[in-house]
């Protein structure tokens, strides 16, 4: 089980929030995103979705996880985004150099179980073909019965150039 430890990064985050709150002026933004867009993207810190897509606060729902996978929880968020908050388009973004390409679920699960003493059946979602995986995520979203018939795009963000490349 994780232990809560105060760190310099945590203190810095709180200090940055004080700075942010002092100039905060977005309390009147509506909950539905202004551009009616939902984005599912990898959590990689080199991918700043807002910058890559030219988004501002209030423009889109941004859902992130390791690999930009259409997990049950990501689809749950997309369903809420569409059905309750009016989004009408989905973009899925994966990227070159993704860590999910570098391991196999079973190996990592065995290693973590050996270190922690707990074997947990938690799918990690590693993959070995970036474009095939992206197509599979888009297809999984499209095929869900609660996802609306809206444009769903699959893009690869190239960490080497900052460019987006359409795949699905």
Grouped pLDDT means (10 residues each) for the chain, 168 residues = 74 95 94 97 98 98 98 98 98 98 97 96 96 98 98 98 97
pLDDT digits (tens, 9 = 90+) for 2-49: 666 678 999 999 999 999 999 999 999 999 999 999 999 999 999 999
- pTM across the whole model: 0.93
* pLDDT the model gives residue 5: 62
Domain-wise residue ranges, the chain: 30-166
The number of angstroms, rounded, from the C-alpha of 87 to the middle of its chain's C-alpha atoms is 16
CATH 3.40.1050.10 fits 30-166, yes or no: yes
Both tokens assigned to 47:
């991918």
- Whole-angstrom Cα distance, residue 148 to residue 168? 17
Q: What angle do CA 75, 77, 78 make, to 5 degrees?
A: 60
Environment class of residue 129 by beta-carbon count within 10 Å: exposed (0-12), middle (13-18) or buried (19+)?
A: exposed
Both tokens assigned to 124:
């990690």
């Amino acid at each position: 089980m994780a232990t809560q430890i105060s760190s310099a990064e945590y203190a810095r985050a709180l200090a940055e929030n004080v700075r942010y709150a002092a100039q905060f002026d977005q309390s009147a933004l509506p909950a539905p995103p202004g551009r009616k867009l939902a984005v599912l993207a990898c959590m990689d810190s080199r991918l700043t979705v807002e910058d890559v897509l030219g988004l501002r606060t209030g423009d889109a729902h941004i859902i992130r996880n390791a690999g930009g996978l259409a997990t049950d929880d990501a689809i749950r968020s997309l369903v809420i985004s569409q059905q309750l908050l009016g989004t009408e388009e989905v973009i899925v973004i994966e990227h070159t150099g993704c860590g999910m390409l570098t391991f196999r679920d079973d190996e990592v699960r065995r290693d973590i179980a050996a270190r922690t003493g707990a074997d947990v059946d938690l799918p990690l979602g590693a993959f070995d073909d970036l474009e095939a995986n992206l197509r599979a995520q888009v297809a999984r979203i499209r095929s869900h019965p609660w996802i609306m018939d809206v444009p769903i795009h699959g893009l690869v963000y190239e960490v080497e150039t900052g460019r987006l490349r359409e795949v699905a």
